[in-house]
Amino acid sequence: MKDWIQAARLRTLPLSLSGIIMGSFIAKWRLYSEGEIWDWKIFALALLVTLLYQILSNYANDYGDGVKGTDAERATEAETRAVASGKITAKQMKNAVILFSILSFVATVALLYLAFIPKYMNEFYLFIGLGVASILAAIGYTVGKKPYGYMGLGDLFVFIFFGLVSVCGSYFLFTKTFSWDILLPGAAVGMMSMAVLNLNNMRDIESDRLSGKNSFALRIGFKNAMIYEIILLQLPIILIFVFLCLQGFLQTQQYYVFIVMILLLPMMKIRRQIMSVKTPKELDPFLKQVGILTLVMAVLTVLGLNYFGN
């Protein structure tokens, strides 16, 4: 059980939860202002679905890199993978990927049934398609003959699924509408997720080079990947600030700006620390820190809206 829990990489969960929290509670704020009801059961199921997707993704990543030999030499002992180390066999991990694919799909159908049936049948089928795409994306990062993570496309898929789909999709589950401004927090969460992936790829840049995993960080080189990382950690704050300004409350409720100011100091500190590393393996602790910072960004934003915006 300990090996399976370790393979699930629970430290990545704050990142996956951030998009659901952001989209769901922005929807709660909007529904409350319109006198409509926010369904907590949809939120609970959405959390379950994203939890299953994340574990599925981590198991599939462990399996895919393990059978390809990518994990033969990890940069840090903390990131030793279950299949590569022999703690879990490739067959066992493959069965786990199949099991969590089924569980993810069943949970997705349950969530969408609660959110859309019987009034929104077209939306139900559309989101079933998105659910299937999410499952395939979770698996396809490292599994298959041409995994997109090995072609340098991981950042793009993370931005789409961890950011836009997670935030905008969860928002739509509650409101049954789409608002263009929701793309701003969606992009902010997506960029923070890209920052975590880029840190991971920068840390493993040498082992990836040897194994033929052409991540985006490897393609552009460590120095440019560091510049890319700093940009990814800077833009989300700006996007959240613009989103809050567009809500029209900033003119009369100036404490909204404190949401950005609270985030600004730890963001500056972590950027400075990342830039000062001497070797790629020193980047490992920052994966967890940036993930937690993403969750804090989501929580502060929705707390500001729901408890000070009405």
Compute and round to an integer the Cα radius of gyration of the chain: 19
Q: Is the distance from CB of 130 to CB of 105 less than 8 angstroms?
A: no
52-89 tens-digit pLDDT: 999 999 999 989 888 877 655 554 444 567 888 888 89
Residue ranges in the chain modelled with pLDDT below 50: 75-78
For the beta carbon of residue 175, count every other beta carbon within 10 angstroms: 19
| Tokens at 278, concatenated | 């001497």
Q: Is the distance from CB of 244 to CB of 256 less than 8 angstroms?
A: yes
Q: Alpha-carbon distance 97 to 203, whole Å?
A: 25
Q: Alpha-carbon distance 202 to 218, whole Å?
A: 7
Q: Provide the H-helix boundaries in the chain.
A: 2-8, 13-33, 40-68, 82-85, 90-116, 121-140, 154-158, 166-175, 183-203, 205-211, 216-220, 222-246, 256-275, 284-308
Q: Alpha-carbon distance 250 to 273, whole Å?
A: 32
Q: 168, 156, 154, 138: which is closest to 52 by C-alpha? A: 138
Q: 168, 163, 178, 158: which is closest to 297 by C-alpha? A: 163
Q: What contacts 24+ positions apart, CB below 8 Å, involve 69-77?
A: 69/211, 70/142, 70/207, 70/208, 70/211, 70/212, 70/213, 72/207, 72/211, 73/207, 73/210, 74/204, 74/207, 75/203, 75/204, 75/206, 75/207, 75/280, 75/281, 75/284, 76/203, 76/281, 76/284
Q: Alpha-carbon distance 31 to 177, whole Å?
A: 11
SS3 category, 153: coil
Prediction pTM value: 0.92
The pLDDT assigned to 78 comes to 47
The pLDDT assigned to 246 comes to 84
Q: What are phi and psi of 205, to 5 degrees?
A: -60, -35
The pLDDT assigned to 65 comes to 84
The pLDDT assigned to 260 comes to 67
Q: Alpha-carbon distance 3 to 80, whole Å?
A: 11
- Residue 90, classified by CB atoms within 10 Å of its CB into exposed (0-12), middle (13-18) or buried (19+), is middle
167-217 tens-digit pLDDT: 999 999 999 999 999 999 999 999 999 999 999 999 999 888 888 889 999
